[in-house]
Amino acid sequence: MKIAISGKGGVGKTTLAACLAKYYAQKNYKVIAVDADPDANLASALGLEYGKASKIIPLVEMKALIEERTGAKSGEYGSYFKLNPKVDDIPEKFGIEVDGVRLLVAGTIKAGGSGCYCPENILLKRLFKHLVIDRDEIIILDMEAGIEHLGRGTCENMDMLIIVIEPGLRSIQTAYAVQKMAKDLGIKSLFIVINKIKSDEEKKLLKESLKDFEVLGELPYSDKVRQSDLKNYSPCASDVKFYKKIEEIANKIKEFITV
Ligand SMILES: Nc1ncnc2c1ncn2[C@@H]1O[C@H](COP(=O)(O)OP(=O)(O)O)[C@@H](O)[C@H]1O
Ligand SMILES: [Mg+2]
């Protein structure tokens, strides 16, 4: 199963990515969770202590690795480099194990201008493609809202894109923008997860604005989840009601993809 999670900043993408990854790992699946957000914090959401999490260097900043694999220095534009660098050993060599989940802090493919053709972009694109197309593990990609840099091949092979929204029109606007990108990139199926719901009334109101989407699940607002960020523990099992909903979503995804 290859799943990408996108949406506006702060809606709960990382929380959902971490909880799904941990859930599947507990069920004895092999899971690679990929942090592809420039504001990387999947490590601590998985439960890694802040001191260790803050020391992780994203792949995109590993200059020696980029040079070794592509034959060019990172940031170099227009120089000669390999378009098909070796990436298949990266999850083993550079991923770290957090509570049964293999975490890969990748960083983000830079957009526009010279960013499109620099060696670190080539390496990351190739890596994402490898993860989505060649691996047997469950892959969960924690992404920023922009998905256009992933590339068509990667997107077409992704099983599912989940857009997380929270009660608020701005996150719905972002969902529509992501939906458009997803269509252009050939993503097979797209779902919404509504997070931080405080009341049925809120839920009803939101669903009216989401008629063009299929809702995969709903997650309640939880003080324990919010505090997990402050107190540096994983949000995933901190609240029974929240976790039940995660479980429901995880099972729905499995059913949808494996049928
Ligand atoms: N269901 C929830 N209830 C309360 N707080 C939440 C919930 N989901 C996420 N949060 C909090 O919202 C903030 C942003 O969540 P995060 O997962 O980092 O979002 P994103 O990755 O989309 O930027 C964090 O402080 C997180 O603890
Ligand atoms: Mg995040």
| pLDDT tens column, 46-105 | 999 999 999 999 999 999 999 999 998 776 666 677 888 999 999 999 999 999 999 999
- Asked if residues 17 and 45 have their Cβ atoms less than 8 Å apart, the reply is yes
Which of 112 and 215 is assigned the larger pLDDT? 215
Average pLDDT over residues 33-45: 94
Residues with CB under 5 Å of ion ligand 2 are 13-14, 37
| Residue that the structure tokens 């929270």 belong to | 166
Residue 117 has pLDDT above 90, yes or no: no
Q: Please give the helix or strand (H or E) that residue 162 lies within, else none.
A: strand 160-165
Average pLDDT over residues 197-224: 94
Per-residue pLDDT, 239 = 95
Q: What is the pTM of this model?
A: 0.95
Q: Whose CA is nearest to atom 11 of ligand 1?
A: 226
Residue 207 has pLDDT above 60, yes or no: yes
Give the Cα-Cα-Cα angle 62, 111, 15 (nearest 5 degrees): 70
- Distances, alpha carbon 27 to alpha carbons 47, 49, 124, 194, 230, in Å: 18, 23, 29, 24, 28
Q: Which residues line the pocket of ligand 1, CB cutoff 6 A?
A: 7, 9-15, 41, 195-196, 219, 221-222, 225-226, 228-229, 235
Domain count, the chain: 1
166 alpha carbon to ligand 1 midpoint, in Å? 9
Most ligand 1 atoms within 8 A of CB, residue of 8, 15, 219 to mutate: 15
Which residue in 139, 101, 104, 137 sits closest to 23, CA to CA?
Answer: 101
Which of 120 and 27 is assigned the larger pLDDT? 27
Please give the mean pLDDT across all residues of the chain: 92
40 alpha carbon to ligand 1 midpoint, in Å? 13
37 alpha carbon to ligand 2 midpoint, in Å? 6
Q: Which residues pair with 194 in a beta bridge?
A: 165, 218
Per-residue pLDDT, 77 = 65
The CATH number for 159's domain is 3.40.50.300
What is the extent of the structural domain holding 155?
2-258
Contacting residues for 96 by C-beta, under 8 A, at least 6 apart: 43, 48, 56, 102, 103
